[in-house]
C-alpha cells in the first residue's frame, strides 16, 4: 500500500530554518505530483507548495522566496526547505501525492489521493 512518511519538523526560533522530508513508498514516485499542505490550530488545511513530476513548482504567496520544494526521484522523497521562518508558519505540515494528469497543477487538497500523517512545525517569536 501507499505510504507517505514526513519527518524533519520541530521547534525553531523566528528567522530559522527547517527541512521537511516526505518518503514515499508503494507508488511509482516519478509519475506523481507531490504537494505540501499545512494546518494551523483552529484553521483549515491550506496549500503550501507543489512540485509536478516534471519539476514544475508552485507556491502559495505567503511562502514565496522563503520555502523551496524539491524532489529526488531516485530516493522517492520530496523535500520542503523552509527558511526565514515566522511564527505564522507554525502548523502541522502534511505531504500529499496525486497521480499526475498532464498540465494540471494541483493546489487543492481535494485533488490529492494519498496523505502522510503530518509533522509539527513550531516557530517561536
pLDDT score at 103: 83
Determine contact, residues 123/86, Cβ cutoff 8 Å: yes
pLDDT score at 36: 98
pLDDT score at 96: 98
d(CA 63, CA 99) in angstroms, rounded, equals 25
pLDDT, block means (10 residues), the chain with 125 residues: 98 98 97 97 97 94 98 98 98 97 91 98 97
pLDDT score at 100: 93
pLDDT score at 58: 97
Q: Which of 68, 91, 92 is nearest to 17 (CA)?
A: 68
Amino acid at each position: 500500500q501507499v505510504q507517505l512518511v514526513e519527518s524533519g519538523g520541530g521547534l525553531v526560533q523566528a528567522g530559522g530554518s527547517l527541512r521537511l522530508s516526505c518518503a514515499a513508498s508503494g507508488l511509482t514516485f516519478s509519475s506523481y505530483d507531490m504537494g505540501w499542505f499545512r494546518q494551523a490550530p483552529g484553521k483549515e488545511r491550506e496549500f503550501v507548495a507543489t512540485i509536478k513530476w516534471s519539476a514544475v513548482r508552485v507556491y502559495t504567496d505567503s511562502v514565496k522566496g522563503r520555502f523551496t520544494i524539491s524532489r529526488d526521484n531516485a530516493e522517492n522523497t520530496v523535500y520542503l526547505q523552509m527558511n526565514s521562518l515566522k511564527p505564522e508558519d507554525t502548523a502541522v505540515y502534511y505531504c500529499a501525492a496525486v497521480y499526475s494528469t498532464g498540465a494540471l497543477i494541483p493546489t487543492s487538497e481535494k485533488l490529492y489521493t494519498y496523505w502522510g500523517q503530518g509533522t509539527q512545525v513550531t516557530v517561536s517569536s
